[in-house]
Amino acid sequence: MKIYKYTSLESAVSILKSGGVALNNPKDFNDPNDCSFVQDKKDKEKIEKLITDYFIYKVVSELVSLNKLKLNKSSRAILAELQKEMDSMKRLLEKNLYFDRIPGFNLIAKMIGSKSKHLDVLVAKAKKEFQEKIDEAVNNAKETALISCFSKRNNSILMWSHYANSHKGVCIEYERPDLIDFRNVTYQQERPYIKMYKAVSHAVALDILGKKETDDEIAMHLKETLDPFFVKSPDWSYEEEVRCLYSKTKLNDSIEYDGKRYILNIGYPTAIYIGCKTSGDELDHLYRLAENRGIPIYFMKKSEDTFDVVVDREYKYKPNSRKKQQEITLLRLANDINRCLDSNIYLAAFSASLIVPAICSQVECPEIKDAKERYIKWCDTYLPCTDRGPDSDGMAYLTGKILWNIKEKLFSDGNIDIYGRYEDFDLQKTVLRIEERKAWDVYCDVLGERDVVTNVTKFCSDMIYQADRCFKKHEKEVKELSQLPIEDYDAELESMHECGILTERINKAINGEK
């Protein structure tokens, strides 16, 4: 089954780059009633009675086991009956792992408990504390919830208008993951209430029996408890929404935090639908990213017969020709590194990244005239990988000098055999680790005292960041540097074809003319 995410053009580019979709907290949604549920009153009353029985049982059991009750003959007979009730209750719980009120138990327990002056106080305190925990859990569930929203359809006029920048954005198609986290939204007029009695009853039963909840049981009760997150007003039914729900407190391997947002790695889309008003350079960018990943792209148009939007099967898209202006080498380099990473061309990305310090150091270390010294100084100053850790004494790690030697060796001999003495360690081997772009949390590993393994994706991503930072801070100086001349020959050929110049030049060449 397919599901669809409507989004802006800029967000679509980010989605394709990361391979994931953003997860947001409900407080940021456009509907203030979304996920604004409270605990059901009747459910709350049932839980209070349940907790009363439970803690009476716990307190009385403790008093009996510690032999702290001073009982006469008739009271001992009552105690015997109480013990029978407790044994009967445990047998029932073994068959059905849900604690419920047992007829006669509460009355007998109170009669025994009256021998303890503190029973009522203990039970009242326990009920209050338990309810506070429930209230805290409900509020915490709201505060830590992470949701991403999808639709079952890709041709909704309202969805294109509301969520895809008034048809100037895109609609991204995915295969619906077969996961419990993805559920259909239901629509009803009544506000949803969170019900926790069943989950509490089960937890109490397990506590009495000294058992732990299984993963399947946790998933089942979690699903029931979280139902209100998947209920909305009928006014939103046109969305035909499918949403996934996660929590900041319980993340799995498919979720990452990039410092600003939580990203769900859902994989690449199966298709992309372009709005009927979408245009511009970012569309070219999105088109290239999709082509690199083999993702089909379809352009939408207004239906000739209805008020629907439909796929334009005949439209052929031509990316805009590159603007005729001098390119800044540093920016072009960063863009090319980024595109290599997008296409999993890691060695090319790494090689291009080694040029960035040569450019940035000219404007950020201008007092150093020697190119090698300047390159090393810049790397040691601005790159996190060269920041020596507290436990690195005698251990190999990346330095500006090593990076300079890697660059020189790679460009001259096509390898990175740069073993030898560096600072206070002997370097025996350097290794490039190739990983998917999402897996770049580790920068540099040390395998043994003289080996360094460098995460290519992390290294290149930091170089892209440094290039962008340097340009923003020293734009004037960077532009004054000698730029690498680049001729966009494909765009020029296309233009020449259109005006017939190419044909004329070919004819002249055949005739020996200049």
- What is the rounded distance in angstroms from the CA atom of residue 482 to the CA atom of residue 380? 24
Residue in this structure with the two tokens 């999808």, named with its chain if needed: 150
pLDDT on residue 430? 85
335 touches 347 (CB < 8 A): no
Output the tens digit of pLDDT for each of the chain's 514 residues.
999 999 999 999 989 888 899 999 988 888 888 887 777 788 888 888 888 778 777 766 666 665 555 555 666 666 666 667 777 777 777 888 887 765 555 665 556 555 555 666 777 777 788 778 777 877 888 888 999 999 999 999 999 999 999 999 999 999 999 888 899 999 999 888 877 778 788 888 888 788 887 766 666 666 667 788 999 999 999 999 999 999 888 788 889 887 788 999 988 899 999 999 998 888 988 998 898 888 999 999 999 899 999 999 989 888 765 444 457 899 999 999 999 998 889 999 999 999 999 999 999 999 998 999 999 999 999 988 776 655 556 677 788 999 999 999 999 999 988 888 887 778 888 888 887 655 444 445 544 456 777 888 889 999 999 999 999 999 989 988 888 877 654 444 444 444 454 445 545 555 555 4
- What is the rounded distance in angstroms from the CA atom of residue 81 to the CA atom of residue 75? 10
- What is the rounded distance in angstroms from the CA atom of residue 208 to the CA atom of residue 86? 10
416 touches 456 (CB < 8 A): no
Long-range contacts of 481-487 (CB under 8 A, 24+ apart): 481/329, 481/359, 481/362, 481/363, 483/326, 483/327, 483/328, 483/329, 484/327, 484/329, 484/332, 486/327, 486/332
Three-state secondary structure call for residue 330: helix
- What is the rounded distance in angstroms from the CA atom of residue 309 to the CA atom of residue 288? 24
3-state SS, 47-104, equals HHHHHHHHHHHHHHHHHHHCCCCCCCHHHHHHHHHHHHHHHHHHHHHHHCCCCCCCCC
- What is the rounded distance in angstroms from the CA atom of residue 373 to the CA atom of residue 322? 37
What tokens were used for 388?
């020596």
Three-state secondary structure call for residue 376: helix
Strands (E), 351-459: 420-422, 425-427, 429-433, 444-446, 451-455
pLDDT on residue 39? 76
What pLDDT, in 10s, does the model give residues 250-264?
788 889 887 788 999
CA atoms within 13 A on the CB side of 176: 19
**336-365 burial string, b = 16+ CB within 10 Å, else e?**
ebbbbbbeebbeebbbbbbbbbebbbbbbb
Residue in this structure with the two tokens 């209230």, named with its chain if needed: 135
pLDDT on residue 271? 96
- What is the rounded distance in angstroms from the CA atom of residue 44 to the CA atom of residue 65? 31
pLDDT on residue 326? 59
* Closest to 360 measured CA to CA, from 415, 409, 400: 400
